Structure formats: C-alpha cells, structure tokens
C-alpha cells in the first residue's frame, strides 16, 4: 500500500495489524485489520494554528525547533466493528495515533468524546486527555 506503513501489533486476535500514513496530510487514516478484514479505523484532520512549514530537527540540540509551530490535529473518529469491541483495538489505534503525532512533532490533538459519554470520558482520561464539560477532548504532546 503506497503511503502507508503496516504494523504488526500484539493482540489477543490472530493476525491483527494496523496501517498508518507516512507523513502529515490534511486527512490521515489509521486502519485496523484482523486478517484481511477491516475491523476499525481512526481519522485525523489537520487544524493548522499557524501555516508554516515544518522545521527540521536541530542537530545542535536546540529544542526550539523540535516542534512544528501550531500544528494541531483533530481526532474526528475512532471506530471499531461491533464484533471486535473490547479487545484492545480502539486502544491500539489511539496509541498509534498518539505515537505518530509525537513522531511528526504535532503539538496537540483535539476532538470530541462521542458515544457512551461516561465510559469514553474515563477511557480518554486514562490515556492522558483533558476533557471539558462539553465532552471536548485535548491532549498536548510534549
């Protein structure tokens, strides 16, 4: 698959794997498969606070250029097929989204907790997200 990386992930499911994009784009898709069957996905969309090119990592150790200025992504969706829920697929997708954003020097993730609100609030909080009273989520990446 051009533009995607496939990752083998430890899971209770046989032949579980994730795909993730190579590099930043306005829309990013992460997909989970069990064998050849798609079982989940996560979608991000960009929200640039300041439209600037990504700086290169400094070789001098100056951390001021280690972050892309104002790059923020919105977590639009994490969805897992009904028969595959509560097997760690959503967590694997979210962990990969966070790791990808850190690798790409994204400053923050924002979004909305949709669905069983109390359970989702706990799920996001357990992963370091802040939530407000309107169920908006945010995670500052450092």
pLDDT single digits (tens) 54-75: 334 444 454 444 555 578 999 9
Could you read off the pLDDT of 16-55 as tens digits, one per residue?
Answer: 899 999 989 999 999 999 999 999 999 999 864 443 333 3
| Residue labelled with tokens 């992504």 | 73
Residue 11's pLDDT is what? 53
Beta strands in 49-92 (DSSP E): 71-80
> Which two structure tokens, joined as six digits, stand for 42?
């996560």
- What structural domains does the chain harbor? 4-109 (3.40.630.30)
CA–CA gap between residue 110 and residue 40 (Å, rounded): 20
pTM: 0.77
> Which two structure tokens, joined as six digits, stand for 21?
């994009």
Residue 117's pLDDT is what? 76
pLDDT-derived band at 124, boundaries 50, 70, 90 = very high
Could you read off the pLDDT of 90-123 as tens digits, one per residue?
Answer: 999 999 999 999 999 999 999 998 877 788 889 9
Beta strands in the chain (DSSP E): 4-8, 16-21, 27-34, 37-48, 71-80, 108-112, 130-131, 136-140
């Amino acid at each position: 698959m051009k533009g995607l990386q496939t990752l083998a992930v430890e899971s209770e499911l046989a032949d579980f794997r994730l795909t993730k994009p190579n590099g930043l784009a306005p829309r990013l898709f992460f997909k989970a498969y069990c064998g050849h069957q798609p079982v989940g996905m996560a979608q991000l969309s960009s929200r640039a606070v300041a439209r600037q090119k990504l700086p290169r990592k400094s070789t001098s150790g100056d951390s001021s250029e280690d972050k892309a200025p104002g790059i923020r992504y919105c977590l639009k969706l994490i969805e897992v097929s009904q028969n595959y829920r509560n097997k760690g697929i959503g967590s694997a997708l979210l962990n990969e989204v966070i790791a990808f954003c850190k690798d790409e020097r994204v400053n923050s993730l924002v979004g909305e907790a949709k669905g069983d609100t109390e359970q989702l609030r706990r799920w996001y909080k357990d992963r370091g997200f802040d939530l407000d009273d309107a169920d908006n989520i945010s995670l500052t990446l450092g």
